[in-house]
Structure 1
Amino acid sequence: MQPLHATTKLRYGRNCDNGLLRKLLCFYKCVMYSNKFEVIICYLFWIGSVFYGIYGVYNVKKEFKYIDDIYNDFENGWWDKSSKKDVSDFEWQTMLSIFKQLYPWLILHMIVSEFIRSTDVRVLPYWHCIIGTAFITNTMGIIGLLLVIAQPVFFYCISKLNKKYYIWICNLICLVLILYFKSLCNSKNYYVMKYSEMQHYIIMLTISWVNLRCLSFSIDNLSKTKLLHLLSYCFYLPTLCIGPFIQFQHLKRSYAAHAIDLPKRTFKLLISFIRFGFWLLFIEFCLHFVYVSALSYQIQLVRNLSSSALYGYGYCMGQLFHLKYVVFYGLSTSIAKFEDVKAPATPKCIGRIHLYSDMWKHFDAGLYQFLLNYIYFPTVGNFTILRRLFSSMLCFSFVYIWHGIEYHILTWAFVNYLGICVEQMIKSLSTLSFIQCLQEGWKQRLLCAVYSPLLAISAISNFYFFAGTDIGNIFVERIFQSKYFPLKRIRD
């Protein structure tokens, strides 16, 4: 190993006298020894800012006393009638309703599955089809069952042509039909089908997840597609309505798994249920104090928030969204893991994420793997910059269409795509020689300073996704109207 003065001469290409060298050594030691202190200061500042922002959102609670609850955004709290709980989050309330309907079926699913594994595991795919079909019929009726089963049958027929581009054409047709069915929500035809708004939402969730499974299965098993396995994969009850995406090869492994280590697996399942049950109750408890969802419908009230309360509101939106999917995916993947199915990890806390790419990698790991395996890698070719940007654009285009063609989703997807592109450019620049010459601590500080604006843009794009265009515009207005960005107000 070379001594420090040798590396200094080599790095800067000139001789350093002893006085300058001693100063550099002293400065280097100060920076290195103060690094832990610096990290502690950053943590304290971050945590303090978060709690101060949340406290600002909590104080907004009293403003709802003067707002008429004409849309039933609140219900009586747990302890007395004077306390109110925010129940305006349609997605959260719908998922709770799904869990209430689903849990008896899941218990039946697990009991019979374990019995089959102890007798004849070859029967397991048939059982997946039977229990999934029974649940859909009971919850959504025959029409709902036909809507769900149409995609697997369609993909199975197209896969017999043994051409991947036919499968993609089939998928695009299905996506267009799904979007058309979604548009019925705002038309009179919606009521002719005799579905409630919640039933319509459940069907949309189910057929959207089934679409991913059909595409994945058909591409992976192009020349050996079995209708039984495709239906079993699509109707696998734990992930049928709420996800996440799991590849068929991981589910197929459970077809050969016999009922072994039942006490150990049951113990792990109970621990997982306790863990995710705690977060479910934590969300319900917090909704008594922080009215995140109800606030999203009060545009003028949000506009009048102080900057600290507004940014705290944005943080609360992100954390609520994160915790919801920790519960959704956590409960479903707990059962999948109990049945020896390899399931993706639950979403990573957004408070620990500061890069666009990390958000996509660690929030919905199943969807991320789907995009990589079936869109990005097949199109990226030789991994040149232009090919990578093009493949990323295809991924975000698919995400936009799959989530629904709406303006706020387009804004979210487009800004995320731009963020990924800028992040890749920064990573490429970080390999330049003059940056590599920096000490690790200074390199990290430089990258943090460069990535911080990207983090802000990422957060704002997510606010469009969480709460719609009006709320997202308010955050943009506030940032660019601050004393640091004295720009003209964005007009509605």
Structure 2
Amino acid sequence: MAAKMELVELPRWEMAIYWFLSFASHLYSFYQLHIFSKAHEKSLDREVQLDKGFLIWGFRKDPTDFEWSFWCEWAWQSLIWSLIGHAVVSRVFGVYLPQYRKAFLTFYGMLAAWWLLGLRGMAVLMLHLSVSLAFAQLHNPAVSWGCTLLMLSTLHIKSLQDIQRDWYDSDERYYLLLFSSAVCSLRCVSFSLELCWNPLLVRHPTHHCSHLQFRNIRTFIMQLYNLTAYCFYHPLFYNGPIITYKDFNQQMEQPLCRVSLMWMLSRILRVFVWWCLAELMIHLMYMHAIQNNETYLNILPPWALGGLALAMVQFFYVKYLVLFGAVSVLVTLDGLEPPPLPRCVSIMYSFRAMWRYFDVGLYRWLIRYLYVPLGGSHRGLFQKLLSTAVAFSFVCFWHGCHDYLQCWALLNWAGVLVENAIALFLSSPPLHDTIVRFLSPQMQRRGLAFVSAFSTALLILSNLVFLGGIHVGRVYWKRVLLQGWSTIAAPMLGFLYCFAQVGLDLDRKKELKS
């Protein structure tokens, strides 16, 4: 909706109030959640076995966010050292043997993957790559998509999961293989479709066009090498963010640029600060342990209930600042342009903004390989509905297609459609002319923030379903919208209005800079 009108500046005193209320509501709700966490620390410890804290003396730590605990454990065990090794290899060969840098980075990435995943895990990944490339030779996007969906479905077959679990001495290594396979599937789609659309894009730069035939074994091997270099690029191998093959191929061929030591140290320090903030949150607030128990959700005081919702989505945001921020430093050092880091979820005032600015790499991937090929917004309303539905369905399937993911995808699809419908309605000539005639630009912006507050409420609800499950969304729906419509919902919408105004103001300043 913001795209249809010019965002004007509001009085400074008014924006100061919005900023103050936004920060104050966050801090106070977090404080109330902290009080609740400490009051129930013993019972939570019996249920989930809180870890011994190390960041703050005398505080315990909530270990129940699987993704954060998983990646932190692997980071200290091996990933930090393997990423440092990658940086050394890239710099040495980039300076002294630039023509062999891509080859040695590929070899290093495969060696690092073999070290953690073992020979069998490597065989599974190479099988996926080879099958995907073989089907891509048909130059049929539908066939390539069918191959990818089939391989993704094998990740959720119980018998195959049991076999792969038996390969490793811990479930953590199996999950590392699972995550790697899922991310590699996105890269296989990118490579295969780029090959279908433009075969010259995936040729070796020293080869001629006459070599681009499937029956030419040398060309197939070169294509497999390019796909392997793309998929096994070590900083992005396990968790992303996603870079399309077209961008990866073009940027990897460019010479390394010089990066100052101060720039690198400042980026590393920034990631460290984010990591400390994430650890501070799970030391002070046991939000993940609380949201797993519906009894606690039903007895949380209203402010603590709001604090839990904000803490869960903010921790998810800070977690991916760390996960994506750390590898983005290395990607930049290699001369590649990583996707922008996620935007703070508290200033996301629409479903469309959430998809566009949180995981930018995945958003660009979906637009290029799903939304636009299916027609997007250029072939009528029905085609737009279909393209959006297929994109959300694929994201749900890629994440595992559990019941809560289906609910989350449906909520997001409905949210995007409703926002588009409202934007279309407000921009219709009779209504738009009436709004412009009777409302000043400042009042138009306030009206936009008011409408966005409702969208933000539903956006947070959908994120709670994604992060905590259907039971969390059900409790919030019941306590906030059904039971607390006159006591909780109104103040909540007031604070969400302030959040939306802050987000709109930041977007306005960004537009002025650009």
What TM-score results when the alignment is normalised by the length of structure 2? 0.83
Q: Secondary structure at the match of 1:288?
A: helix
Q: What residue number does 2:435 align with?
A: 435
- 8 Å Cα contact 1:380/1:387 also seen in 2: yes
Retained in 1: the 8 A contact 2:102–2:229? yes
Distance change >3 Å, CA 259–CA 453, structure 1 → 2: closer
Partner Cα distance (2:239, 2:75) in 1: 10
Contact 1:336 1:342 survives alignment (8 Å):
yes
What is residue 505 of structure 2 aligned with on the other side?
Answer: none
Counterpart of 1:199 (choices 152, 157, 173) is 173
Give me the whole-angstrom Cα distance separating, in 2, the residues matched to 1:334 and 1:111: 13
Q: Secondary structure at the match of 1:133?
A: helix
- SS at the partner of 1:69? helix
Aligned to 1:255: 252
Take 2:384 and 2:128, find their aligned partners in 1: how far apart are those partners?
A: 31
Residue aligned with 1:284, SS? helix
1:330 offset after TM fit, Å? 0.4
Q: Distance in 2 between matches of 1:356 and 1:476?
A: 18
C-alpha change, 1:83 and 1:423, in structure 2 (3 Å) is: same
Q: What CA distance in whole angstroms lies between the structure 1 residues aligned with 2:19 and 2:368?
A: 37
* Deviation of 1:375 (Å): 0.6
Distance 2:341 2:28 in 1: 28
* Aligned equivalent of 1:455: 456
State how far apart, in whole Å, the 2-side matches of 1:245 and 1:127 are. 21
In structure 1, the gaps of 5 or more residues are 1-31, 487-492
Which ranges of structure 2 fall in alignment gaps of 5 or more residues? 1-7, 203-222, 488-514
Corresponding residue number in structure 2 for 1:89: 65
Name which of structure 1's ranges 326-335 and 467-476 shifts more when overlaid on structure 2: 467-476
User: Which residue of structure 2 lines up, in the alignment, with residue 220 of structure 1?
Assistant: 194
Aligned to 2:490: none
Contact 2:350/2:456 (<8 A) preserved: yes
- 1:178 alignment partner in structure 2: 155
Mapping 1:347-366, distance limit 5 Å? 347-366=342-361
Any idea what SS the aligned residue of 2:241 has? Answer: coil
Equivalent AA in structure 1 for residue 419 of structure 2:
E
Q: Which residue of 2 aligns with 1:299?
A: 294
Q: Is the 8 A contact 1:337 1:343 kept in 2?
A: yes
How many residue pairs end up in the alignment? 450
Give the alignment partner of residue 133 of structure 1, picking from 106, 110, 117: 110
Does the Cα contact within 8 Å between 1:171 and 1:211 map onto a contact in 2?
yes
Q: State the one-letter code of the partner of 2:330.
A: I
Asked if the contact 1:266/1:338 (under 8 Å) is kept, the reply is no
Q: Any idea what SS the aligned residue of 2:157 has?
A: helix
Q: Which moved more, 1:101-110 or 1:330-339?
A: 101-110
Q: Is the aligned partner of 1:476 residue 2:477?
A: yes
Greater mean deviation of Cα atoms: 130-139 or 119-128: 119-128
Alignment pair present for 1:246 and 2:243: yes
2:466 equivalent in structure 1: 465
Tell me the SS of whatever aligns to 1:477. helix
Structure showing greater relative contact order (alpha-carbon pairs closer than 8 Å, 6 or more residues apart): 2
Q: Percent identity?
A: 24
After TM superposition, give the deviation of residue 345 of structure 1 in Å: 0.5
Letter of the structure 2 residue corresponding to residue 253 of structure 1: Q
2:171 alignment partner AA: E
Q: Does the alignment pair 1:168 with 2:145? A: yes
Larger radius of gyration: 1
| 2:400 matches 1:404 | yes
Q: Tell me the SS of whatever aligns to 2:45.
A: coil
Q: Report if the CA contact (8 A) 1:167-1:215 is conserved.
A: yes
Asked if structure 1 preserves the Cα contact closer than 8 Å seen for 2:277 and 2:318, the reply is: no
Q: Secondary structure in 1 aligned to 2:374?
A: helix
Partners of 2:479 and 2:160 lie apart in 1 by 36
Q: For the residues of structure 1 that align with 2:68 and 2:105, how far apart are their CA atoms?
A: 26
Q: CA RMSD in A?
A: 2.2
- C-alpha contact (below 8 Å) 2:154/2:160 kept by paired residues: no
Which residue matches 1:326? 321
> Residues 419-445 of structure 1: CA distance to partner in whole angstroms, max 9, x if unpaired?
000100111122132223332112112
TM-score (norm 1): 0.86
How far apart, CA to CA, are the structure 2 residues paired with 1:211 and 1:411?
Answer: 24
Query: What is the alpha-carbon distance in structure 1 between the residues aligned to residue 187 and residue 40 of structure 2?
Result: 43
